[in-house]
Amino acid sequence: MRARGKWEIISDILNAMNEEIRRRGYARKTRVMQKAFLDWRTFQKYFDFLIEQKFIEVNSNDKKYRITDKGLELLRNLREIRRFMHDK
């Protein structure tokens, strides 16, 4: 199995978040990490990046996360790139 690149990991995190939000209405970090198949250290590195870049935001009262509009746009673009790369 090959190692995933930065943008593939980011795509996996955003996809996992999107799935959780559709299912539950919100996402929690541990569940997203598990669905993205990442260890805690790697997950936290990318999750922090996504928050810093405003692709994800947190409700500080209950630690529930959501994808911002900017994050949804990134997810759509990454899906399109992935489709393009696999169509060869």
pLDDT score recorded for residue 1 = 64
pLDDT of residue 45: 98
29 belongs to a structural domain: yes
Q: What is the pLDDT of residues 5-54, one digit of tens each?
A: 999 999 999 999 999 999 999 999 999 999 999 999 999 999 999 999 99
For the chain, the C-alpha Rg in angstroms (whole number) is: 13
Residue 1 lies in a domain: no
* Number of domains composing the chain: 1
Look-up of token digits 């959780």: 20
Is the CB of residue 5 less than 8 Å from the CB of residue 12? no
Is 16 inside a domain boundary? yes
31 falls within a domain: yes
The pTM of the whole model exceeds 0.85 = yes
71 within a domain of the structure (yes/no): yes
Residue 70, domain CATH: 1.10.10.10
Asked if the structure places residue 55 within a domain, the reply is: yes
